[in-house]
Every structure is written in C-alpha cells, then in structure tokens.
Amino acid sequence: MEFQAEQLRNARHVVVFSGAGISAESGIPTFRDALTGLWENFDPAALATAQAFRNDPALVWGWYEWRRAKVLGAQPNLAHLAIAELARHVPRVTVVTQNVDDLLERAGCHDVLHLHGSLDLPRCFACARPYALGAEPLDEPQGGRRIEPPRCRRCNGKVRPGVVWFGESLPDDAWRKAVSAAKDCDVLLSIGTSGLVQPAAEIPRIALQHGAQVLHINVQPEPVAGDREFSLAGKAAEVLPRLVEETFPG
C-alpha cells in the first residue's frame, strides 16, 4: 500500500524527523559514510566521544572544524527547501533533526529541534560556558587537520564541539518537545536516517504508537510493518519536493 498524498494534505500536525541523509545532497558526508583524508583510519563513533577529546583534543576539534567548514561551504538542498515549503501549507510542522548542521534553518525552517546539538554552539569542556566562534569561515582544510581547540575566556579550559557525543544525554528541552510532537502528530516523515542511534530513533516509533502515519524516505527501502507505516525509496532531494508538490500543487 502506498502513502497517500491526502494523508499529508489533511494533516493538522506533521513531524519531520531527519538524519544525515537529508544533507547528503548538500555535499555533507553522512555519519556512516566512509571517512576520508586524515580521518579515514578512524571510526566516527570512536571520534564522537568525550574520551577521544580527552585523549587528543586537536584531532577531535580538527574533525569538527573540518565538518563545520564543509557546512559553511554548503547550501541547503531541495529536501531542506521542501520542508520549509511544507511548513507554509500544514497548520503545524515540528522539525526534529539528528543533524548538527544549520542547513534546515538556512532553508527557512523555524524552531528546529536539534537532538544531537549543533556545530555552531561550542562550549567549554571544563565549565560549559558557551564559546563564540569567529564569524570568519574556515579555509576548508583539505582532508582535515589537527587544530588545537580554542580556550575558554573564563576558565581557560579547552573548548569542545556543541554536539551530543556517544554516552552523553540529549538536550532535555529538545527531547521533551520532540517526544511531545511525536505523540501529537498525524503524520511523521522520517528522512535520511539509519535509525541506529537511540534514543533519537525512538521518535518515529512513538509517533506510530500514537496513531500517526509514518513515511520513511531513504535511498535504502525501509522495512515497514502494519497499515500506517510506509517507505519511499529515493534521494530526499528528489522524493521530498515531488511529494510536497503533489500534495500542495501550485
């Protein structure tokens, strides 16, 4: 059974739940893409930890700065723009993302809930004071390089990326709002996520348990169960704009 456009057209509240796949067509490697350059011998899951930062702050800070440089040099793609367009038609749209880039915001989405933090909000590793990054875009280090992290202006501690590392808890406010939206929505669009990382991966299941229709958009066909879960295989930047245009023509 296919997902019906009118389910989206008649929705009062839609949750858009996104993962790294939605930024793939902006040139941002997904989390499980093979790492390249300086990082190719590292497992991303090993680099995205507080322990890795303690062991080698310059390696970890350099990796995140390389990713931030890629995001600064990237543009929102048609999938990001389609979500902003959807929010102009559906009475209420809650955007929940696992991504740490700001491409959804740059596409015109508002109040994006970042379950895994943001590259743009680094803070002191010691005293947690927010650190204001320089506005100057980084010269994208080809393949990345080690970069000594800046120091906190209050306690001189090392500045860490503002992302949620493995083993760390998700931001309370974003998590609570995401769960509440998943319980309330009529439709949840799950876009470009492998659904491997908990508890974020619970969000589509919570929506399904509370009676929503759930549509997975992924280059890999997703296994679905029951009569309210669907899968659309394809690139987000192709499938999502087409779905929004079919649902809200003209």
Q: For ligand APR, which residue of 30, 94, 190, 247 counts as binding (CB under 6 A)?
A: 30
DSSP state of 211: T
Active-site annotation holds for 80 = no
Q: Which residues make Cβ contacts (< 8 Å) with residue 247, sequence separation at least 6?
A: 5, 6, 8, 9, 89
If binding is defined by CB under 6 A, does position 98 make contact with ligand APR?
A: yes
DSSP state of 108: T
If binding is defined by CB under 6 A, does position 192 make contact with ligand APR?
A: yes
DSSP-assigned letters across all residues of 173-200: HHHHHHHHHHHH-SEEEEES----STTT
Q: Any alpha helices (H) in 126-171, and if so which ranges?
A: none
Residue whose CB is less far from ligand APR, 152 or 204: 204
- The stretch among 62-70, 146-154, 188-196, 207-215 that binds ligand APR (CB under 6 A) is 188-196
The mark string for 110-139 relative to ligand APR (x by CB under 6 A, - otherwise) is ------x-----------------------
- What is the nearest approach in angstroms of ligand APR to the Cβ of residue 181? 18
CB neighbours of residue 112 within 10 Å = 20
* 3-class secondary-structure state, position 39: helix
Residue whose CB is less far from ligand APR, 78 or 152: 78
Q: How many CA atoms lie within 13 A of 106 on its CB side?
A: 16
CB neighbours of residue 64 within 10 Å = 22
**How many residues of this chain interact with ligand APR, rule: CB under 6 A?**
20
Return d(Cα 121, Cα 64) in angstroms, integer: 12
Residue whose CB is less far from ligand APR, 24 or 212: 24
Which residue in the list 80, 114, 116, 216 is annotated as catalytic? 116
Residue list, annotated binding site for Zn(2+): 124, 127, 152, 155
If binding is defined by CB under 6 A, does position 24 make contact with ligand APR?
A: yes
User: 3-state SS string over 26-56?
Assistant: HCCCCCCCCCCHHHCCCCHHHHCCHHHHHHC
Q: Do residues 101 and 121 lie in contact, with contact meaning Cβ atoms separated by under 8 Å?
A: no
If binding is defined by CB under 6 A, does position 32 make contact with ligand APR?
A: yes
Residue whose CB is less far from ligand APR, 75 or 156: 75
If binding is defined by CB under 6 A, does position 23 make contact with ligand APR?
A: no
Place of tokens 């740490």: 100
If binding is defined by CB under 6 A, does position 218 make contact with ligand APR?
A: yes
Q: Which residues are catalytic?
A: 116
Binding site for ligand APR (CB under 6 A): 19-21, 24-25, 30-32, 98, 116, 192-194, 196-197, 218-220, 235-236
